[in-house]
Amino acid sequence: MTPQHPNFDAHVQSAVDPIPANPLRKRAMREELLAHLIGAYEQELQESESTQIAVAEAKKRFGNLEVLREELRHSVPLLERLIFQFFTPREPIMVRWILLGIAFFLIGMSMILPAMAQIRDGKKFTSDAVIHFAIGLGIVAVGIAFSVYKVVKRSRKQTVTPR
């Protein structure tokens, strides 16, 4: 039977949990990483005869969790990453910011469309329409930039404390 250290599960969990991926893929990642960590622990235990030193050396050989997490995140296909990024409740505050960006976009469009209708109908483009168009365009630009920034930021780096 393979000796397991209770901290290994938490250590591996902290590397895999923040990754937006299918639960089956995450379980496979967890199992593989745990097997590597236990293997390293067993090797270190044969060399050192001290469990504490073996645990520390195995974790050291395991590597930096941030780098490992980033490599694991990139191993997940983009479509899967995006789907599980948005359909798993991780950071509700981030979702609110994205929704706020969409609201800005819609409010800006409600200002732009009447001005565009004046152009389409061949009416004279008044200074009020120009002001509404410019303000609406600015609000739309802010909304799009805000949403895109948050989506990109969320998909690149996701730091969530383990549950």
Q: Quote the pLDDT of residue 11.
A: 82
pLDDT band at 163 (very low <50, low <70, confident <90, very high): very low
3-class SS of residue 65: helix
Burial 135-146 (b: 16+ CB within 10 A, else e): ebeebbeebeeb
Do the Cβ atoms of 155 and 82 come closer than 8 Å?
A: yes
Q: How far apart are CA 87 and CA 155, in angstroms?
A: 13
Q: Quote the pLDDT of residue 154.
A: 67
Q: Is the pLDDT of residue 159 over 70?
A: no
Q: How far apart are CA 114 and CA 12, in angstroms?
A: 55
Q: Quote the pLDDT of residue 25.
A: 92
Q: Quote the pLDDT of residue 28.
A: 93
Q: How far apart are CA 150 and CA 103, in angstroms?
A: 14
Q: Is the pLDDT of residue 1 over 50?
A: no
Q: Quote the pLDDT of residue 27.
A: 93
Q: What is the mean pLDDT of the chain?
A: 80
Which pair of tokens denotes residue 121? 């109908």
Q: What is the mean pLDDT of residues 81-110?
A: 75
Q: Quote the pLDDT of residue 119.
A: 79
- What are the tens digits of pLDDT across the range 17-70? 888 888 899 999 999 998 888 888 888 888 887 888 888 888 888 888 888 888
**DSSP assignment letter at 122:** T
